[in-house]
Structure 1
Amino acid sequence: MAFLAGPRLLDWASSPPHLQFNKFVLTGYRPASSGSGCLRSLFYMHNELGNIYTHGSVLYHLFMCHKGGSPVYTRLLALDMCGVCLINTLGALPIIHCTLACRPWLRPAALLGYTLLSGVAGWRALTAPSTSARLRAFGWQAGARLLVFGARGAGLGSGAPGSLRCYLRMDALALLGGLVNVARLPERWVPGRFDYWGNSHQIMHLLSVGSILQLHAGVVPDLLWAARHTCLPD
């Protein structure tokens, strides 16, 4: 992946203020670059390279050092938050659909309610002043999903056997990733050692991938179950 000679990298104190969001990553910051310079950074070592290659949406990490500065960075962050919100929204809708498959009077209201709640959560994440505030914003969606999981676990909802365990692991991995990112672990313990590899943001990305795989493992059998299942009359 990294085989080109890159520009002289910056330390934390010399990096642009809008990129100084993790004071425990001390080195490896790219200088302000043109669009082509940002693309070129796909092929030389710097402290965002691991984030670029472990992220489902690379635009934020790839172009965050653009010479347009803070305005460009803010738009990229907003785009990234929209992607997270969409995943949280679209991933949960089939879960709600299957859980309430035998409650047709409740299902449309639940789907609409979760969609509206996701809109509020997305707006709060877009306007959040910090990483921890963004995590709390998405907590609204997580809380709603837990209510759905609780209904299924209590026998008030339906679905494929085993899918609920996948969904619980899904949200556990996502929550763990968010907490690791907010806590800045492990780089908080040894500042500078994890500048390039193994820092909290990369760990969050990998846990997010695991979370999405658990979503897939639960939703596919759920949808197959819903296609075959016949609800008993009330």
Structure 2
Amino acid sequence: MACLHGPRLLNLEKTPPHLQFNDLILTGYRPISTFQGCIRSLFYLHNEFGNIYTHGNVLYHTFMNHEGGEPIYDTLLSLDMVGVCLVNTLGCLPIIYITLMCYPGTCILALLSYSLISAWGILCATTARSNYGRLRAFIWQALFRVLLFLFRWLGDGVGSPASLRLFFTMDMLAIMGGLVNLSRVPERFSPGLFDYWCNSHQIMHVLVICSIIYMHWGMLEDLAWIKTFQCPVLE
């Protein structure tokens, strides 16, 4: 994929301050570029190349070095956070519905509550100024899902017996991804060695993609199961 000869890449100290968000990535920074220059960077190797191709929303990593500077960067980062929150929100709504489908009133309340928590999470994520703040914005969504899965496990909620394991794996992978990104492992142990490949942000992307795949598999199990399930009739 990286087939074009790109511009001269920069070291950490030569790149603008708003792009120095990981001081353990020492080389391979793209120079400030026009829109066309950012697009061209899809085809030569630099330290965001792996991030672009392991990300579901490529806009942030592709255009973060746009000549518009920090305002453009902040806007792209906010859009990226909104996308992550929407995946968390929209992906969980069917899980809530199926888990609580035999309790219609509780189900509606849970859907509304999770939507409000998610809206708050989006606000926190888009205004946070650090990776820790952005990760913390997703905590309440994760805790809500844990309670939901516990409800299923105890037998009060419903759903495919196979999907609970898949949904639990989904959240564990997402949490691991966030923690890896926050801890900056493995580049913390050898700054510069992981500038182009296998740094914490790329690992996080892969884990999050795997998390989404497990969510998809879990939903397929639930959707197949729901075709043959009917809530018991209460006397």
Q: TM-score range by the shorter chain?
A: over 0.9
Listed as ranges, the matches of 1:84-163 within 5 Å are 84-163=84-163
Q: Which moved more, 1:106-115 or 1:220-229?
A: 220-229
C-alpha distance in structure 2 between counterparts of 1:21 and 1:220, whole Å: 38
Which consecutive aligned stretches of 4+ in structure 1 deviate over 3 angstroms post-superposition? none
Q: Shift of residue 148 of structure 1?
A: 0.3
Alpha carbons 1:101, 1:226 under 8 Å: kept: no
Deviation at 1:223, TM superposition (A): 1.9
1:25 aligned partner: 25
Give 1:168's aligned residue: 168
1:75-107: CA deviation from partner (whole Å, max 9, x where unpaired):
000000000000000000010011011111211
Q: 1: CA distance between counterparts of 2:140 and 2:227? A: 30
d(CA) in 2 for partners of 1:231, 1:18: 54
Structure 1: how far apart are the matches of 2:58 and 2:129?
22
Asked whether the 8 Å contact 1:187–1:193 carries over to 2, the reply is: yes
- Structure 1 residue 226, shift from structure 2 partner: 2.1
* Whole-angstrom CA distance in 1 between matches of 2:231 and 2:28: 58
- SS of the residue corresponding to residue 39 of structure 2 reads helix
CA–CA separation in structure 1 for the residues paired with 2:93 and 2:184: 31
The corresponding residue for 2:229 is 229
Q: Secondary structure at the match of 1:218?
A: helix
The match for 2:38 is 38
Equivalent pairs, count: 234
**Does the 8 Å contact 1:101/1:158 carry over to 2?**
yes
**1:126-158, Cα deviation, whole Å (9 max, x unpaired):** 111100111011111001110101111111100
Q: Where does structure 1 lack aligned partners over 5 or more consecutive residues?
A: none
Residues of 2 paired with 1:119 and 1:159: CA distance?
Answer: 26
CA distance, structure 1, for counterparts of residue 126 and residue 50 of structure 2: 24
Q: Is the 1:9–1:27 Cα contact (8 Å) retained in structure 2? A: yes
- CA deviations on 1:15-63 (whole Å, 9 max, x unpaired) are 1100000000000000000000000000111000000000011000000
**Could you say which residue in structure 2 is the equivalent of 1:177?**
177
Conserved 8 A contact 1:94-1:223: no
Distance 1:84 1:202 in 2: 15
Between the aligned partners of 1:32 and 1:154, the Cα distance in structure 2 is 55
Q: Which runs of 5+ in 2 are unaligned?
A: none
| Alignment-derived partner of residue 199 in structure 2 | 199
SS at match of 1:228: coil
* Separation in structure 2 between the aligned mates of residue 84 and residue 153 of structure 1, nearest angstrom: 27
- Amino acid in structure 2 at the alignment position of 1:213: I
Q: How far apart are the structure 1 equivalents of 2:223 and 2:116?
A: 23
Give the TM-score of the pair, scaled to structure 2. Answer: 0.98
* TM-score (norm. length: structure 1): 0.99
Give distance in 1, aligned partners of 2:34 and 2:227.
51
Q: Which residue of 1 aligns with 2:54?
A: 54
Rounded Cα–Cα distance in structure 1 between residues aligned with 2:27 and 2:78: 25
